[in-house]
Amino acid sequence: MSVQFLIEDFHQITLALLNHQESGSLFETILRSAARIMDAPHGEILLPTDDTMVIRSVTANQQNLLGEVIRRGDAHLMWQAYDTAQPVTVDDYSSYSRRREVYDGLRLRAVIEIPIMVEGRCVGLLSMGRNIPDYPFSPEQIHHGVMLAQLAGLVLDRNALYEAALREIEERKKAERNAIALGIERKRTEMLAGFIQNASHEFRTPLSIIQTSLYFLNKSPDPDVRQQKTRLIEQQIQSIDHLITMLGLQTNLDSYSDEFIKQSVNLNRLVETLIEGVESSAKAHQHTLTVTFSEPNLCVSGDAEMLNTALRQITENALRYTPASGEVSVAVLTDGEAVMIEIQDNGVGIPDEALPHIFTRFYRQDIAHTTPGFGLGLSIAWRIIELHGGQIRVKSEVGVGSTFTIVLPRLSP
């Protein structure tokens, strides 16, 4: 019966996300869903603040705990799940030596703490408990709890994205009002408005797939079909999470000037780390992945994490558009006072008419969206390299492959 509940509740939460429902009511919906799917009537959602945890939403039977602040040392299970980013369970909380006295009146037995993850980090907890003795949480119930925690993560990240975007719009409006008096065009505000419009459109695609999958899940008695649709829902949730990450990164990059903190970055080590990160994906598609360095200790001035993000976007793009058993090479070269990272593939190539647009955000040559992606990776890479005083050059031929060359100022030894 829990699968049927899961179908119904995912449908309800998906519609609420599509309609931008307020986060508090979404958290309440997630808790109600977790309570009946996991057969655990006691639940709460906690969010971290500095070195404390605050209870932000609760089931109806725990209203007295709403808003409570929990410090380190007060709730061992919660902090263990938060620090390890892994679900933590106790089969009998009544005999647990480090239990919280405030929960004694609830007569809790099986308890589970599930991390709410965003961009690979824990941003909160979904905490559930039941009163029935000798009734631990099953692997299936834990899996369903993790899926609901993923939805809670989407709620948090969506809110952060839209709040940041709204703040940015307001700041742009103020700047525009001042600029109008000086006769300065409104181009940046128009670009931001287009950014928000496109982002909303891209959200609806995976959410619509989830909604359709839920419909077929509800109609089909075939367990194989239901399993397939469940996997598809999980993939689309991950897609939404990835989109939010990319949108957040693009928004942050738009607000940067070229005055961010710069340090000496060893490009050879950076590229070695990059290759380690994409190696498993390359092997999965039987790609040959090679790397060469023209000389040791080639350095540039910049931010290593930002540069890694830019190079990874271009390298993953090369892997994505190279057929199985194809070749992708990465070379670090020098040209006078410049350092060049050349990423070459023998993939499908880019038509001449598309080349001028590939660094435009949300641009996709694949209008039908038959390949994964949101059209943000290359625009993010371009912006990062631009902030580092560099440029990206592209040569491509359909059916032959593409070569992306990142040029950066060399840091003198």
Measured in Å, how far apart are the chain's first and last C-alpha atoms? 66
Radius of gyration of the chain (CA): 25
**Dist. CA 56–CA 236, nearest whole Å:** 27
Residue entry with tokens 């006078």: 336
Which conformational region is residue 284 in: left (phi greater than 0), alpha (psi within -120 to 50 degrees), or beta? alpha
- The per-residue pLDDT for 328 is 93
- The per-residue pLDDT for 127 is 95
Query: In the chain, what is the greatest distance between 2 CA atoms, to the nearest angstrom?
Result: 74
- The per-residue pLDDT for 147 is 83
Domains defined for the chain, CATH in brackets:
263-409 (3.30.565.10)
Q: Which residues pair with 52 in a beta bridge?
A: 49, 71
Q: Give yes or no for a contact between 404 and 394, defined as CB atoms under 8 angstroms apart.
A: yes
How far is Cα of residue 206 from the mean position of the Cα atoms in its chain?
Answer: 14
> Burial, 175: exposed, middle or buried (Cβ in 10 Å; 0-12, 13-18, 19+)?
middle
Q: Give yes or no for a contact between 322 and 404, defined as CB atoms under 8 angstroms apart.
A: no
Nearest alpha carbon to residue 93 among 144, 59, 42, 28 = 42
- Give just the sign of the alpha carbon dihedral 59, 62, 68, 70: negative
Secondary element (H or E) of residue 163? helix 139-181
Residues near 392 by Cβ (< 8 Å), separated by ≥ 6?
Answer: 314, 359, 381, 382, 385, 404, 405, 406, 407
Strands (E), 108-224: 111-118, 121-129
Q: Give yes or no for a contact between 55 and 49, defined as CB atoms under 8 angstroms apart.
A: no
Q: Give yes or no for a contact between 59 and 43, defined as CB atoms under 8 angstroms apart.
A: yes
Q: Which 3-state string (H, E, C) describes 98-111? A: CCCHHHHHHCCCCE
Q: How many residues does the chain have?
A: 413
- The per-residue pLDDT for 366 is 54
Per-10-residue mean pLDDT, the chain, length 413? 58 61 78 89 91 91 90 89 93 88 85 88 92 92 86 72 58 64 53 54 66 71 80 76 72 70 90 91 88 90 92 91 90 91 93 87 56 71 92 93 94 76
**Dist. CA 219–CA 216, nearest whole Å:** 5
- Please report, for residues 26, 34, 236, 274, the alpha-carbon distance to residue 227 in angstroms, rounded to integers and kept in the order given: 26, 20, 14, 34
DSSP string over 297-309: --EEEE-HHHHHH
